[in-house]
Copies of this chain bind each other. A is one copy, B any other.
Amino acid sequence: MHGKIYIIPTTLGDSDIDVIPQKTIETIRSIRYFTVEDIRTARRYLSKIKMPVKIDELIFLELNEHTKQDEISELLVPVFQGNDIGIISDAGVPCVADPGATIIDYAHKKNIKIVPLTGPSSILLALMAAGMNGQNFAFAGYLPVKEQQRCRRIQFLEKRSKNENQTQIFIETPYRNLQLFKSFVSICNPSTQLCIAANITLADEFIKTMTIEKWKNSEPDINKKPCIFILQG
């Protein structure tokens, strides 16, 4: 009998674990094998969860952008031996704008049961709070770093947003947030709506939707803060 794979959300940054549901906490406490994006970050999270055994007795394997396709099957050895494993990324939910999907894809092919657990996702929370179309939306991930390509991509997605009434969601490396903000402000139509959501679930959470025209006079304090950008043309 194979084990199951639990997809385990973590907090967004250094928040209290009261954003993690009791069912998620109890499931984590029952697991001994973890496949994680970064071992140190995962150990710190599991300390907060108060595991019933010492953290040193848990087994950690790493899964991140350096993991090769042929290493995926090795990560599943504990599952084939009948153990449940938990997948944990550095912040929020694995497999959505975070590593994890390759192992899940492989696991489905091997008929392993996958159980996603509830927890905070900055993308979902930002979308809930944006006040934009939540019946039709797309997450476009990171935009190109090079200016010209980035601008073209923004124009393309702003146009799609308008034509298809599709909300567009983006994420950026925190130290590039202001650069991306400036691109939006300089490229997009003045009437386009832009939601900026920074430090979601933290004490200084900032979520604001305004037109590009209004953002022009009010640069947000988002430098180096985890941030989601949402646009509706």
Contacts and interface: CB of A to CB of B under 8 A. Distances in A.
Nearest to A139: B137
B114 A129 contact: yes
A166 interface: yes
A28 interface: no
A141 B135 contact: yes
Interface of A: 7, 16, 18-24, 26, 93-98, 100-108, 114-116, 118-121, 124-142, 166, 195, 200-201, 205, 207-210
B121 A124 contact: yes
Q: Is the interface of A mostly helix, strand, loop or mixed?
A: mixed
Which of A106, A130, A205 has the largest count of B CB atoms less than 10 A from its CB?
A130
B209 A95 contact: no
A128 B116 CA distance: 6
A19 B26 CA distance: 11
Nearest to A200: B116
Contact of A108 (B24, B115, B131): B131
Contacts of A139: 135-138
Given A127-B96, A132-B105, A138 B137 contact: yes
